């Protein structure tokens, strides 16, 4: 039976494709961003940097941010109306024409053989075409009548927000602003981080080398230079984005305006934790592992810190009665383990967390990879009663689909992906044979067992249905929308870094395996088949970059 016949049939009409899709505000903004992402890449490739090619994309990002922000106030009512509104094919055609006009005008302006029209006509026309491209794409997804309602949903907030945003943008564009933004303005921040790291190191090291002029700090045998990028502004800026977005999403759950105090608190914690991260990096280097300090730890510790602070902020904001209107009961071990959301997602969370820790502890070769196997296996064992009710049976088609994905992975990887040395060959060559075999067994076992189970539970078992309804358990495992399959597959693909395209295609194939009979076993076996064939290929060919 064709699995796509089981698709959910909501009320709205997707007129362009002639099919039926239900698209709310978030889905439409996602489509808007994807559309501009797809157009931006070829446009950037066409024109040299600094010639205004990024203008259209920037404008698209700003418009999407504006709509997402202002749309929060009347999200539900707007979304409900949008679900009944077809995508405006006329506006979409107009958008395509405007993009083409922009490219043609850019070619005339920047090409080797300039046209006869004067620049004072071409330049403004080019910018008008860009603005039209953004506007028409926006109106195709959100009709002008509803767009005006989104803008007016928060009264005249847009009238304050737009000039403020434009000023902020200008500060990053003008030569004067750029010198403020990137120059000496941030020096005091770097100084503060420098002194905090110095104070922390004095707690552990008998002799600390600290040169304020060059921002070099450490011990006599291992020291680092704190660059502008390490001053802590990066993580603090991300924390600002996260904390404000978190408060927006749960607006009615918090005591306003006092809950806003959490934003600077979170930023200060993030700032301080950056100094702790740099101090820890130096201590790891001093302890005799400079490769780990400068490679794995340097690149991963920032993300680990950000995740810890952000998730800690999210939990604390709901638990502290002074900030939260209703504080939920702390979950007992029994209620936590009995939650279906936890059962579907915690193995994947454990996989991601173990991967970050494992990479942070590596100096090129990920020697701690078995941690991924152990962490996921432990979570699956802890939650095992939840999985008894799932359908783990599988059919032969799953094996075939897994094999097809393997072939696609190899073929696309060969042509589209630049292979880099992941250090496995050189790392293993330094180990004794027994340790080498044990690592390879763990690596293969994780690829064939725990990784497919954790990822299929999260992406196919949970995400496809969660994108249809917040109450995902009320949705049959055989039901889906094209949007839910596509978005869950793209999310799955993006997790695979440079293999994002074969990863996305793999996501679609595993979704077909899952949706055909609504059995998680089919998706897991298809995924495990791919990984088993890939492992066999790697071990046979010695092409370690595929791992």
Q: Please pick, from the candidates 164, 203, 388, 433, the single residue that binds another protein as defined by CB under 8 A.
A: 164
**By C-beta, is 146 or 342 nearer to another protein?**
342
d(CA 302, CA 238): 11
The SS3 of residue 394 is: coil
Segment 312 to 351, residues that bind another protein, using CB under 8 A: 314-315, 318, 339-342, 345-346, 348-349
Residue 457 CB neighbours (<10 A):
25
Segment 202 to 241, residues that bind another protein, using CB under 8 A: 228-229, 233-235, 237-238, 240-241
**173 in contact with another protein (CB under 8 A):** yes
Q: Please pick, from the candidates 20, 353, 440, 539, the single residue that binds another protein as defined by CB under 8 A.
A: 353
Which residue stretch of 251-259, 367-375, 403-411, 527-535 sits at the interface with another protein (rule: CB under 8 A)?
Answer: 251-259
Segment 455 to 484, residues that bind another protein, using CB under 8 A: 458, 466, 470-471, 473
Residue with tokens 């749960």: 250
**By C-beta, is 69 or 531 nearer to another protein?**
69
Q: What's the helix, strand, coil split of the chain in %, to 5?
A: 75, 5, 25
**By C-beta, is 126 or 466 nearer to another protein?**
466
Q: What is the DSSP letter of 47?
A: S
**119 in contact with another protein (CB under 8 A):** no
**By C-beta, is 184 or 206 nearer to another protein?**
184
Q: Please pick, from the candidates 51, 77, 89, 299, the single residue that binds another protein as defined by CB under 8 A.
A: 299
**160 in contact with another protein (CB under 8 A):** yes
65 burial via Cβ count (<10 Å: 0-12, 13-18, 19+): middle
Q: Please pick, from the candidates 311, 325, 411, 416, the single residue that binds another protein as defined by CB under 8 A.
A: 311
**By C-beta, is 14 or 186 nearer to another protein?**
186
Segment 480 to 509, residues that bind another protein, using CB under 8 A: 491, 494-498
d(CA 363, CA 294): 8
d(CA 232, CA 179): 19
Segment 84 to 103, residues that bind another protein, using CB under 8 A: none
Kindly give the pairing relationship between strand 216-219 and strand 209-211: antiparallel
Phi and psi at 301, nearest 5°, equal -60, -30
Residue with tokens 């490679």: 295
Q: Please pick, from the candidates 14, 47, 181, 547, the single residue that binds another protein as defined by CB under 8 A.
A: 181
Query: Are the beta carbons of 88 and 163 closer than 8 angstroms?
Result: no
**By C-beta, is 206 or 257 nearer to another protein?**
257
Query: Are the beta carbons of 527 and 459 closer than 8 angstroms?
Result: no
Start-end of H helices in 383-432: 384-387, 396-416, 424-429
Size of residue set near another protein by CB under 8 A: 81
**By C-beta, is 146 or 247 nearer to another protein?**
247
Q: Please pick, from the candidates 15, 65, 107, 272, the single residue that binds another protein as defined by CB under 8 A.
A: 65
**51 in contact with another protein (CB under 8 A):** no
DSSP bridge pairs for 222 = 219
């Amino acid at each position: 039976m064709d699995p796509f016949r089981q698709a959910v049939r909501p009320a709205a009409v997707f007129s362009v494709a002639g099919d039926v899709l239900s698209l709310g505000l978030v889905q439409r903004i996602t489509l808007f961003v994807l559309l501009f992402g797809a157009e931006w890449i070829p446009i950037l490739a066409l024109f040299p940097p600094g010639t205004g090619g990024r203008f259209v994309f920037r404008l698209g990002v700003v418009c999407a941010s504006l709509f997402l922000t202002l749309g929060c106030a009347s999200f539900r009512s707007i979304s409900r109306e949008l679900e009944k509104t077809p995508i405006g094919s006329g506006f979409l055609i107009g958008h395509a024409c405007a993009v083409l006009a922009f490219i043609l005008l850019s070619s005339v302006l920047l090409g080797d053989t300039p046209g006869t029209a004067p620049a004072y006509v071409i330049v403004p026309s080019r910018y008008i075409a860009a603005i039209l491209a953004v506007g028409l794409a926006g109106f195709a997804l959100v009709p002008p009548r509803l767009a005006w309602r989104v803008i007016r949903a928060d009264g005249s907030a847009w009238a304050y927000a737009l000039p403020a945003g434009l000023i902020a943008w200008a500060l990053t564009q003008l030569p004067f602003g750029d010198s403020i933004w990137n120059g000496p303005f941030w020096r005091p921040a770097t100084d503060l981080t420098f002194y905090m790291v110095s104070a922390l190191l004095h707690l552990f090291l008998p002799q600390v080398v600290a040169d304020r002029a060059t921002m070099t700090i450490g011990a006599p045998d291992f020291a680092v230079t704190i660059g502008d990028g390490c001053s802590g502004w990066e993580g603090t800026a991300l924390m600002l984005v996260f904390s404000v977005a978190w408060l927006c999403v749960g607006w009615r759950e918090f005591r306003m305006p006092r809950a806003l105090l959490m934003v600077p608190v979170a930023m200060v914690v993030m700032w301080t934790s950056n100094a702790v991260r740099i101090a820890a990096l130096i201590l790891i280097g001093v302890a005799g592992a400079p490769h780990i300090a400068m490679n794995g730890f340097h690149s991963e510790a920032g993300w680990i810190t950000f995740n810890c602070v952000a998730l800690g902020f999210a939990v604390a904001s709901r638990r502290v009665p002074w900030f939260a209107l209703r504080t939920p009961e702390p979950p007992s071990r029994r209620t936590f383990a009995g939650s279906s959301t936890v059962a579907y997602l915690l193995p994947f969370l454990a996989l991601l967390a173990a991967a970050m820790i494992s990479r942070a502890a590596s100096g090129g070769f990920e020697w701690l990879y078995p941690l991924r196997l152990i962490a996921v296996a432990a979570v699956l064992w802890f939650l095992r009663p939840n999985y008894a009710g799932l359908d783990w049976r599988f059919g032969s088609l799953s094996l075939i689909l897994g094999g097809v994905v393997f072939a696609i992975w190899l073929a696309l990887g060969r042509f589209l992906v630049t292979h880099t040395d992941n250090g496995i060959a050189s790392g293993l060559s330094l180990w004794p044979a027994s340790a080498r075999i044990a690592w390879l067994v763990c690596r293969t076992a994780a690829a064939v067992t725990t990784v497919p189970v954790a990822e299929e539970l999260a992406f196919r078992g949970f995400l496809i249905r969660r994108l249809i309804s917040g109450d995902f358990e009320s949705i049959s495992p055989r039901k889906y929308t094209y949007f839910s399959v596509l978005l869950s597959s793209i999310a799955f693909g993006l997790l695979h870094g440079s293999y994002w395209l074969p990863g996305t295609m793999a996501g679609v194939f595993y979704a077909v395996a899952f949706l055909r009979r609504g059995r998680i076993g089919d998706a897991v076996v298809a995924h495990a088949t791919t990984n088993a064939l890939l492992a066999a290929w790697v071990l046979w060919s010695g092409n370690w970059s595929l791992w």
